[in-house]
Amino acid sequence: MEKVQLNVNGFPQVVLVGSHETILETLRNRLNLTGTKQCCDEGTCGSCTILMDGKPVLGCLTPTVRCVGKEIVTIEGVSSGDHLHPVQKQLVQNGGMQCGFCTPGVVMTAIPYLKENPDPSIDDIKEGLSGNLCRCTGYKKIIEAVKNAAEELNG
């Protein structure tokens, strides 16, 4: 075990972690930030996507010790629910989620994606979300939601 200082959603946190522990495990099991979901644990589904210094990373493949000195943002850090990010708002309004389990990962992928690609085509969005497995929606309404969010952000 080793003692590390993390910066999660703007707050410094000191935690004892195992040397092979992933940030997904640390977030869920030590910091009780359960919004980030554990689905495949091997980098195939995108459900555990978080931001490290603004870039999306897979929580299940990122050792916690590598997060030291970085700014970590999880789904809890995006919005407390009063003021939704346009991506979140559009996912709700467009029916871009059903069971909701992949949704935090979709949000954490789409937000940085739209920052880098403010005016994406439908095909661009498909490519941008290609690491996020959703078993419920058939992706159509997720893609539409992200498209609408892009327009809202540009508007």
Partner 1 sequence: MSGPIGKPTPYIDGVQKVTGKAMYTDDYRFPNMLYVGLLRSPHAHAHIKHIDTSAAETYPGVAAVTVGTDLPISFGILPISSDENAMAVEKVRYVGEIVAAVAAETMEAAQKGAEKIIVEYDPVRAFIDPGDSLEVCDPAEQIHSHTKGGKNIHKTAELRFNEPEKALEQSPFKRTGSFKFAGVTHAFTEPHSTIAIWNGDETLTVISATQVPHYLHRNLSKVLELPMHRVRVKKPALGGGFGGKSDPFAHEMITAYLSMKTKRPVKCTFSREEVFINNHGRHPTTIDMSVGCDQDGIITALDTDTIIDGGAYGSFGVVTSYYNGVLLQGPYKIDKLGFRTRRAYTNKPQCGAMRGHGAVNPRYAMEVILDMLAHDAGIDPCDLREKNFLEENTVTVGQLRITSNGVRDCLQAVRKKSDWDKLYGKQPYGRGLGIGCGFYISGSALPIIWNHYPQTVVHAKLDFDGRIVMFSGASDIGQGSDTMLTQIASEELGVPMNYVQLEVADTKTTPVDLGSYSSRVTFMVGNAAKMASEKLRNEMAKAIAKEKDVSTDDIVFRDNKIFTEDGAVDISWEDGVEAALAGRGAIVESGYYFSPKMGGDFKGSGAGLSPAYSFGAFISDVTVNPSTGSVKVEKIWAAHDCGKALNPLAVEGQIEGSIHMGLGQAISEDLRYVNGQIVNANFFDYRIPYSVDTPDMDVTIIESNDSEGPYGAKEAGEGPIHPVLPSIGNAIYDAVGIRMMELPITPDKVLAKIQEKG
In the complex, the residues that contact partner 1 under the rule CB under 8 A are 28, 32, 34-42, 44-45, 47, 74-76, 78-81, 84, 88-89, 91-95, 97-104, 107, 125-127, 129-143
Rounded-to-integer distance, Cα 24 and Cα 32, Å: 11
Q: Which is nearer to partner 1, 5 or 115 (CB)?
A: 115
Contact 128, 150 (CB under 8 A): no
User: In the complex, what is the shortest distance from the CB of residue 7 to partner 1, in angstroms, rounded to a whole number?
Assistant: 18
Closest CA to 74 of 48, 93, 112: 48
Q: How far is the CB of 70 from partner 1 (least distance, A)?
A: 20
Q: Which is nearer to partner 1, 6 or 45 (CB)?
A: 45
Sign of the CA dihedral with 39 first, then 40, 43, and 45 last: negative
Nearest distance, CB of residue 153 and partner 1, angstroms: 16
Q: Are 25 and 64 in contact (CB under 8 A)?
A: yes
